[in-house]
Structures are given as C-alpha cells and as structure tokens.
Amino acid sequence: MGVDTSRFYKGLKIEYEGNIWEIVEFSSSKMGRMGAIVTTKLKNIVSGAVQEKKFRSGESFDVPDIERKTMQFLYSDDMGFHFMDTESYEQISFNTDQVGDTQKFMKEQQEVEVQIYQDKPIGIELPTSVEFEITYTEPGVKGDTVSSTTKPATIETGATINVPLFVNMGDRVKVDTRNGNYIERVKK
C-alpha cells in the first residue's frame, strides 16, 4: 500500500531508503515553476535519529505493514515504560526515546495501541482525546466562558497545557493527544 505527500500526517510511518520513518513534522511550500516541495522531519524508528528531508509534491512511499495491539500502560520507572497485553498478559517495555512526547498524555491503566513491525514493538498510539484532571492552575475567572484568552494548567501526568480562564483546579478536561490542545471541560 502506498501513500503520497498529499496524505502525510504527523505520526504516519513510511518506508524510505530501506528504513521505517515516522513523520514528526511536515510543511508544504511552492517553489515557482518547480512545483511544491514538502519539507519533513523524519524519525528513524530503529535508531531514533531525526532528519530533515525534502520531497517533491506527489511523491509516493510504501507504508509498512504494522500490526496494532491493544495494551494497557502499567507504569514507568528508570528502566522505561511498561505495557501489558490485555489478552496474553505478556509485558513489553519502551525506553523514553521510543515513547517521546506521547508520555505527556499517558495515564497508568490507560489502554493504548502498540504498533508492532516484524514482531518488534516500534511505537505507541494514544486515543485521539483523553480526559485529565487539572492538578494546578491559577484560580478561574467567574463568568469568563467565551473568552479566547488562555492560561497554563498542569494535568495529572505533569504535562502543561493551555486552558480557558474559567477552568479551575480539580476540573476534568478533554485534551487532544496529537497536539496537546484543550478540547472541552468535562461535566461532573
């Protein structure tokens, strides 16, 4: 199965130069008569090395055949992040580099999709949105429910996100795990 540059998205895995790469960032720019160029930041799945590459718009790449397995995030320690297959109870671990920014939005006991390529775990995919409790933020402003002004807030995983002024400590909020954006406050 192939994918061209117009269908790139953050987190997509592609085969390029005999390796599997994950798209970390990408942007498109018009280069006069030459056509559009897609500039990407690619992370090598095996080595973890990040490189910037430029491709012509419309260039095609193979997508690796990646198996997805639902696993439960158990805990993290100095050895890494530990997950358990909910069917076989088999446990696997990832190091901090393999988990990357995903760790900001992982809660213990949360179910995630572990990506497996040729019987080796290569990545983690979180649900698109996850609920978190706000553990610290400045006090909210009563009646300010429409303002687009935001303030920093710390969620239960320790990550900091921007939330509207009316959000208080103890509130539960829904967060987009792809970019860390606040979605909505969850009603109690």
Cα distances (Å, whole numbers) of residue 9 to 5, 12, 13, 124, 132: 9, 6, 9, 16, 25
Residues 107 and 140 in one domain: no
The domain boundary, picked from 39, 62, 85, lies at: 62
48: CATH: 2.30.30.30
User: How far apart are alpha carbons 161 and 184 in whole angstroms?
Assistant: 12
User: How far apart are alpha carbons 83 and 93 in whole angstroms?
Assistant: 6
pLDDT for the residue numbered 145: 59
Beta-carbon count within 10 A of 24 CB: 16
pLDDT for the residue numbered 71: 96
Residues 151 and 103 in one domain: no
Residues 38 and 21 in one domain: yes
Residues 39 and 75 in one domain: no
Residues 57 and 6 in one domain: yes
Residues 30 and 82 in one domain: no
pLDDT above 90 coverage of the chain, percent: 46
Residues 137 and 115 in one domain: no
Residues 121 and 172 in one domain: no
pLDDT for the residue numbered 15: 92
Average confidence (pLDDT) over 47-56: 87
Residues 121 and 147 in one domain: no
pLDDT for the residue numbered 1: 65
Average confidence (pLDDT) over 146-156: 85
149: CATH: 2.40.50.140
Q: Tens of pLDDT along 8-43?
A: 888 888 999 988 998 888 888 887 776 788 999 998
Cα distances (Å, whole numbers) of residue 188 to 79, 99, 138, 157, 173: 37, 31, 20, 20, 10
Where does residue 53 fall: left (phi above 0), alpha (psi -120 to 50 degrees), or beta otherwise?
beta
Our count of domains for the chain comes to 3
Beta-carbon count within 10 A of 85 CB: 14
Residue 115 is part of which domain span? 67-125
Q: Tens of pLDDT along 155-169?
A: 999 999 999 988 899
Residues 121 and 85 in one domain: yes
Structure pTM? 0.71
